[in-house]
Chains A and B, each alone.
Chain A
Amino acid sequence: MTWFDSRAIDAEAVGLVSTDNTTAAPREQFTGQVGFILSAIGSAVGLGNIWRFPGVAYENGGGAFMVPYLVALLTAGIPILFLDYALGHRFRGGAPQAFRRVKGWLESLGWFQVMICVLIAVYYAAVVAWAASFFVYSFGLDWGDDAAAFFVGEHLQLADVGGADPWLTFDFVAAVLIPLVLVWVAVVAVLAAGVVKGVQRANVVFIPLLIVAFGILVVRSLFLEGAVDGLNVLFTPDWSALGDPSVWIAAYGQIFFSLSVAFGIMITYASYRRRRSNMTGPGLVVAFSNSGFELLAGIGVFSALGFLASQQGVTVADLNFQGVLLAFVTFPTIVTEMPGGAFFGALFFGSLVMAGFTSLVSILQVVSAAVQEKFALSRRAATLGMGLTLGVVSVLGFSTTTGLILLDTVDAFVNNIGIVASAIFMCVFVIWLYRSGPELRHHLNTVSTFQVGRWWYVCVGAIVPVMLIVMLVQYVITRINEPYEDYDTTYLLYAGWGSVALLFVGAIVFSLPRWRSREEFTAWPPYPPVDAATEQKGFIR
């Protein structure tokens, strides 16, 4: 199947252009609203919802954090989500195609977002593979009494990266490599099956399963001894935190990273919706589902942490309550102490696999769509080529004894600099420079049931870029002054700053070749709006 610019067909349908569509293949589409919503939720709900939100909330005012969090959801999360939807749905393409239709050279911003997805995918697959391994380990509680030693020692076989020890090795770890290869095979199979039979079907199966499995886990956690203490720690408000700007920035950061916005995913998914489709109504469901799941995760995780703290006679603050260590060290320890631990361990790691896998599918769909569209490749050719290339990079970088360190570094730099910069570029170029805000808002309001008011301009034109510029500047200054995690500075130069440089290089390099796909395109609905009376008089055909 060759890629075809479906907008040419649409334009022909309304009599604007004439095309020969006898040989062209159609653009793929979600079959309906439920498939789209579940796929978008599958993308938004990922590992960060489970292991990032609870810890961020606890560190930033506990219950009081809900205030900046909700403000951030309404003033940044939902508005940027709508911006992504509008771009993808109106300009009907993956990120490079959509931005190119705003302004030719902005294609490079699209490739910048694709490059973010490339770098995230290669390490994200490794985390999904770890979770899959731990799902299997759960049945025998294989980590024993020392989950930390098991994770970094036996499972990852982490090289000692302190001092002069190697920062990068090619000593492969079979326990990581084999599941990682299987994850790549599975994700390529899903993507190769297409938007409906692959992406949509995977999400329609996994998202309800994820909610049920995680729901059971949360309910069980609530009845553990000490759960109430954990919830107290999470929800007791520290109102003084509201006066701390860093808490507000943390809230905007959490919403921003958790919704999977501004790096091409929602643009790509929106482009697979029919033109005459409601966008903002489903968008609100997706945004509230994402936050709803985070809240559920917060309750479950802190109930479980309260239980572990009571068992070990320590406070929650003494435990690893965030990130990789929460998932692969603290949770296995909790599971060991729980009655029926094997079952609940399987539920937890099964949930991680499902949340991570559906997000990985969406990340790679961005890459696949961009390559298909630019180079007029069939879905299968693009998916297999991408899977093989990125799979090899992923295995080389992240299934070795130094994989965890590389993952930690690339993740920190690509997220905190790459994605934040991408969102700032979107706001600055699309809203400020090319003044596309009114056209995009008109698009959303014409096709959608929930009307977007003028407040949206304030959000995407001022609040979001200002908050993100502050975040970016702060982060870059910190990274320049303090080496990330005290890692070797030369290593950080290549693995950290090098990853950021790669985003820019990729953006330029992939923008240079000519487009091999058809060029006809007319956006619908027309903008400026066509007056019905004018249309009837035949001025517009």
Chain B
Amino acid sequence: MTTESILMMAVAMVIIWGGLIVSIVALRARPERDDLPPGGVDDHRQDAGIIEHDT
């Protein structure tokens, strides 16, 4: 491969795959907000697992 094409491939990999890794790491570090305002509570029946086993 030419130096130019290697460079462009490397730049694309670093930005795109790097962006993917950074976004995954950031999400794992803080998956959800812990300072949500009150409300917005989903009804317990909305959990499919609970419904199916709730006899």
List the interface of chain A (C-beta within 8 A of B).
6, 9-10, 13-14, 21, 25-29, 31, 33, 62-64, 66, 70, 194-197, 228, 231-232, 234-237, 274-278, 281-282, 284-285, 288-289, 291-292, 295, 299, 446-450, 524-526, 530, 535
Given contacts A276-B42, A278-B32, A285-B24, contact A63 B8 (CB under 8 A): yes
B residues near A13, Cβ cutoff 8 Å = 39-41, 43
A-B contact pairs, 6 of them (CB 8 A): A9-B43, A31-B47, A234-B5, A235-B12, A276-B36, A526-B39
Query: Do B27 and A525 have beta carbons less than 8 Å apart?
Result: no
Query: Do A26 and B27 have beta carbons less than 8 Å apart?
Result: no
Interface centre among B1, B11, B43, B45 (most CB of A within 10 A): B43
Query: Do B43 and A449 have beta carbons less than 8 Å apart?
Result: no
A413 to B46 alpha-carbon distance, docked (Å):
39
The smallest C-beta distance from A277 to any residue of chain B, in angstroms, reads 7
Query: Do B17 and A295 have beta carbons less than 8 Å apart?
Result: yes
Query: Do B1 and A232 have beta carbons less than 8 Å apart?
Result: yes
B residues near A524, Cβ cutoff 8 Å = 39-40
The smallest C-beta distance from B19 to any residue of chain A, in angstroms, reads 4
A156 to B41 alpha-carbon distance, docked (Å):
53
Query: Do A6 and B42 have beta carbons less than 8 Å apart?
Result: yes
Query: Do B41 and A292 have beta carbons less than 8 Å apart?
Result: no
Residues 18-55 of B, flagged 1 when their CB comes within 8 A of A and 0 if not, give: 01100110110011110011111111011111010000
Of the candidates B1, B13, B20, B51, the one whose C-beta lies within 8 Å of that of A289 is: B20
Of the candidates B20, B37, B41, B46, the one whose C-beta lies within 8 Å of that of A285 is: B20
A27 to B2 alpha-carbon distance, docked (Å):
55
Query: Do B42 and A275 have beta carbons less than 8 Å apart?
Result: yes
Query: Do A231 and B20 have beta carbons less than 8 Å apart?
Result: no
A residues near B51, Cβ cutoff 8 Å = 26
- Chain A residue at minimal CB-CB distance from B27: A281
Query: Do B5 and A10 have beta carbons less than 8 Å apart?
Result: no
A448 to B34 alpha-carbon distance, docked (Å):
10
Query: Do B32 and A276 have beta carbons less than 8 Å apart?
Result: yes
Given contacts A10-B42, A14-B38, A289-B20, contact A449 B1 (CB under 8 A): no
Query: Do B20 and A292 have beta carbons less than 8 Å apart?
Result: yes
Given contacts A28-B48, A295-B16, contact A236 B33 (CB under 8 A): no
Query: Do B26 and A281 have beta carbons less than 8 Å apart?
Result: yes
Of the candidates A237, A281, A282, A525, the one whose C-beta lies within 8 Å of that of B37 is: A525
Query: Do A29 and B42 have beta carbons less than 8 Å apart?
Result: yes
The smallest C-beta distance from B10 to any residue of chain A, in angstroms, reads 9
A9 to B40 alpha-carbon distance, docked (Å):
9
Chain B facing A: main interface SS: helix
B residues near A448, Cβ cutoff 8 Å = 33
Interface centre among B7, B20, B39 (most CB of A within 10 A): B39
Query: Do A29 and B31 have beta carbons less than 8 Å apart?
Result: no
A residues near B2, Cβ cutoff 8 Å = 232, 236
Query: Do B33 and A26 have beta carbons less than 8 Å apart?
Result: no
Q: Which 6 A-B pairs give the minimum distances between C-beta atoms?
A: A63-B8, A14-B39, A235-B5, A288-B20, A275-B40, A9-B43
Query: Do A278 and B33 have beta carbons less than 8 Å apart?
Result: yes
The smallest C-beta distance from A530 to any residue of chain B, in angstroms, reads 7
Interface centre among B4, B7, B30 (most CB of A within 10 A): B4
Query: Do A10 and B45 have beta carbons less than 8 Å apart?
Result: no
For the A-B complex with A26-B43, A447-B40 known, give 4 more contacts whose Cβ atoms are closer than 8 Å. A6-B43, A196-B48, A295-B13, A526-B37
The smallest C-beta distance from A39 to any residue of chain B, in angstroms, reads 14
Query: Do B33 and A447 have beta carbons less than 8 Å apart?
Result: yes
A residues near B9, Cβ cutoff 8 Å = 63, 231, 235, 299
Given contacts A235-B5, A288-B20, A288-B23, contact A27 B12 (CB under 8 A): no
Of the candidates B6, B20, B26, B48, the one whose C-beta lies within 8 Å of that of A29 is: B48
A104 to B19 alpha-carbon distance, docked (Å):
39
Given contacts A63-B5, A196-B48, contact A282 B41 (CB under 8 A): no
